[in-house]
Structure 1
Amino acid sequence: MKFTGIAKPVCIITLLVGLGFLNHQTRAQSSVIYVRPGDSLSQIVGQAPADSTIIVQAGVYRDSLTITQPDIRLIGAGASEAGTVLSNEGVNAENGITVLPGADNFELTGFLIRGFEENGVLLRGVRDYRITNNVAENTGEYGLFPVFCTGGVISDNVAIGATDTGIYVGQSSGATVSHNVVFGNINGIEIENSSDCIVSENEAFNNTLGILIVELPLLEVTTTNRVTVVKNYVHNNNNPGDQRTLEIFIQAVPVGGGILVVGANDVTIADNVILENNSFGIGIARLPVLFDAFDPLIDHIPDNSRTVGNLVLNNGREPDQLRLGEVVPNFPTRANLYWDQTGEGHCFQRNIVVDEAGGTSFPAPEALPPCSSAN
């Protein structure tokens, strides 16, 4: 709504200010820019003033974008071949969209992002972003990747074919990753050295590993704390990962994992459905000892996890002994749930882990510490 040339009594203006309507008016006067096929999308984005809504019509845009301004809303016509496609064909760019520090409140919706060499969307040092209803397909190491970010929503996206991770939250806080579909990646979703994050109601399948919550050495942010993994559907993550990068930690990712917590503290795993993952359903473990030398000041031992109300069946039929065996000799078969018994304060309650095929938990269900009001 715009007010045009009509005088208002002082009392009415005062009322509008009190109700916040004049703030809404200011926002309504922000720039709206339309982009059509044949336009230079990167040039238009680069020249847009802060607080712009950029509406990109359906078509293929062979381009790479960099966002430096705050409050940019980039709206495509849908994340499909018939919608708005951001393509690396003939561009040879590392990233599809790069969002730099200072570009807070960035919003992206309705794009199919394809074929970039390193990342589909990279956000660095950004606050309060929203990445919704996009597809990142074969975009190098990562599909959607916020790093050093604070607050943000990654929702209703699809990430396919990453050589590392489809949706990767690194060294960040306050991210919500929900209602996404991830498949054909090494890790479907990864929360790494980050805190106060929620991973909820996603579907992960045909990845090498479904969901990874991890604390790694040699990073500026040293710990992973307070991550909630709830109501996800994690199934058939048995992709051999032939496209995985040569990075040492990615080489160590076992084929056939459902949800894996490594070295992270205060992780809640609740109300997930985890089926048909060949190495294990849920795994909770310390960082392998062989990595301790990289970062001797951090123990990378998980503490205070809560594993509650999960349905975990028909997992662990063919464990990846090549990788798991380097950490746990003779890793057990039929591990619907595996805990290496390191750390303190863990508890387990109301999980269904015993199936007709011989699947169970390690330790056995009756040996797992129960939850109480103190947990």
Structure 2
Amino acid sequence: MAATHSVAPGEGAQERLQEALILAEPGDEIVLEAGRFVLMDGLSLDVDRVTLRGVGSKETVLDFTGQSDSGEGLLVTSDNVTLRDFAVENPKGDGIKSKGADGIVYQGIRVTWTGGPLSSNGAYGIYPVESTGVLIVGCEVSGASDAGIYVGQSRDITVRHSLVQYNVAGIEIENSRNAVVEENLATHNTGGILVFDLPGLPVMGGGDVVVRRNLVTENDVDNFAPPGNIVGGVKRGTGILVMANDNVLLVENVLTKNDTAQVMVVSYTLPFDDERYNPYPRNVVVAANIYEDGGSAPDLDGAEALLEAFGGALPPVLWDGLQDGDTIALSVAEGTAGWSLNLPRQGADLAEATPGPLQAPVSEVASLSQVTGAPAELEARLM
């Protein structure tokens, strides 16, 4: 029979909380009482159908400032887990990582590095990977040196009503399918929302992603990713970036004051030897969005020449001009100022750009109407 176990902060909190996570039975609820849990090591959960909840993301805090190991604050490797209403502060590695954890729900979780945006911070705040069924709602992440909310190598995903700020990437969907990113606020990151596909990972072929009704504004933080990190190439002032992905729809978003580009659609330019990988964007649709005050101070080599060519500000939608044969890389809605840089090859310098307006306006890709995000049964677990 399902039981509820309460854990209070104070002396011995590390041992008492980890013991509760180990001894929990499927269906149990572990309640973290109000207060600050001072923790010296990471925590782990490997029991299905457990709910771990606090009393609020301001009231219940898991404080990893003194963490002795370099791993994540909390690692979840079991299915149908619900995490809600608590905070994770200053983990040495990632905030909360769930791996192979199908049917996971993150609700009302706050992850932050209190020293601000530093390269020594952990890479990811909320980090589900290799999972089917991911629901992230009402969460808040700041200070991640890679991505605040990162969903990788997964499918059936919804990220909604969350705040990401002062991260390198606010929200990143990588090598994943059937994802909906909606009604989030991405502000004061290096880049707001990223949809990537990368080579050499166990799960390949990301796509079928809808990014809609988000506010992506003032992403103005200098890139602070550690050397060698792939997001180290994201330019300060990027609103939404789509790279090497298939079937992506951007619609009804508000993009303002992103000084490099409101929307960028690009190919992957680094060397790779993964025969499964397609480095080009395919069937990316930029439908009706609102754009204001962007592209006036791009963080790009050769920006002066580009600004002169475009009359003082880059257009709202930029594409590098590279595509996979006859497959359409990018289409834009009627009335959207979309331009191609018409680069001659992958990795070409911007000095070789010959900008020109995009053709073939469209409103949406029909197949993307089938993108549903996380399964409905996960929504039923929200409180």
TM-score range, shorter chain: 0.7 to 0.9
Q: Aligned-pair distance for 1:292?
A: 3.6
Output the CA distance in 2 between the equivalents of 1:250 and 1:193. Answer: 14
Residue 281 (structure 1) aligns with: 262
1:153-183 CA distances to partner (integer Å, 9 max, x unpaired)? 0110000000110000011111101110000
Residue 190 (structure 1) aligns with: 172
Distance 1:54 1:309, change over 3 A: same
Matched, 1:208 2:190: yes
Residue 235 (structure 2) aligns with: 254
1:103-153 CA distances to partner (integer Å, 9 max, x unpaired)? 101101111100001111000001100001011002611000011011010
Residue 253 (structure 2) aligns with: 272
In the alignment, structure 1 segments of 5+ residues that lack a partner are 1-28, 354-359
Q: Aligned-pair distance for 1:95?
A: 1.2
Contact 2:209-2:247 at 8 Å conserved across structures: yes
Distance 1:275 1:372, change over 3 A: closer
Q: Aligned-pair distance for 1:46?
A: 1.7
Contact 1:41-1:61 at 8 Å conserved across structures: no
Output the CA distance in 2 between the equivalents of 1:341 and 1:142. Answer: 31
Residue 96 (structure 1) aligns with: 73
Output the CA distance in 1 between the equivalents of 2:123 and 2:216. Answer: 21
Residue 344 (structure 2) aligns with: none
Matched, 1:234 2:216: yes
Residue 44 (structure 2) aligns with: 66
Which of 136, 146, 150 in structure 1 is aligned with 2:111? 136
The structure showing larger relative contact order (alpha-carbon pairs under 8 Å, at least 6 residues apart) is 2
Contact 1:166-1:185 at 8 Å conserved across structures: yes
TM-score (norm: length of structure 1) = 0.83
Matched, 1:309 2:288: yes
Output the CA distance in 1 between the equivalents of 2:338 and 2:247. Answer: 21
* Same amino acid, percent of matched pairs: 28
Q: Aligned-pair distance for 1:37?
A: 2.1
* Alignment-mate amino acid for residue 59 of structure 1: G
Which of 329, 340, 349 in structure 1 is aligned with 2:320? 340
Q: Aligned-pair distance for 1:329?
A: 12
Residue 84 (structure 1) aligns with: 60
Q: 2:20 aligns to what SS in structure 1?
A: helix
Matched, 1:55 2:34: no
Residue 34 (structure 1) aligns with: 6
Output the CA distance in 1 between the equivalents of 2:285 and 2:26. Answer: 43
Output the CA distance in 2 between the equivalents of 1:163 and 1:303. Answer: 28
Contact 1:319-1:331 at 8 Å conserved across structures: no
* Alignment-mate amino acid for residue 177 of structure 2: S
Output the CA distance in 1 between the equivalents of 2:363 and 2:148. Answer: 35
Residue 153 (structure 1) aligns with: 135
In the alignment, structure 2 segments of 5+ residues that lack a partner are 114-120, 341-354, 367-383
Residue 333 (structure 2) aligns with: 349
Contact 2:334-2:362 at 8 Å conserved across structures: no
- CA RMSD in angstroms, aligned pairs only: 2.3
* Alignment-mate amino acid for residue 370 of structure 1: P
Return structure 1 stretches of 4+ with deviation > 4 angstroms.
Answer: 328-333, 363-366, 372-375
Q: Aligned-pair distance for 1:52?
A: 0.8
Output the CA distance in 2 between the equivalents of 1:32 and 1:216. Answer: 42
Q: Aligned-pair distance for 1:374?
A: 6.9
Contact 2:238-2:261 at 8 Å conserved across structures: yes
1:286-338 CA distances to partner (integer Å, 9 max, x unpaired)? 112xx14343552211111121110122111111114x88xx99996423111
Output the CA distance in 2 between the equivalents of 1:264 and 1:257. Answer: 17
| Bigger Rg, structure 1 or 2 | 1
Residue 9 (structure 1) aligns with: none
Matched, 1:371 2:362: yes
Contact 1:279-1:335 at 8 Å conserved across structures: no
Contact 2:94-2:123 at 8 Å conserved across structures: yes
TM-score (norm: length of structure 2) = 0.81
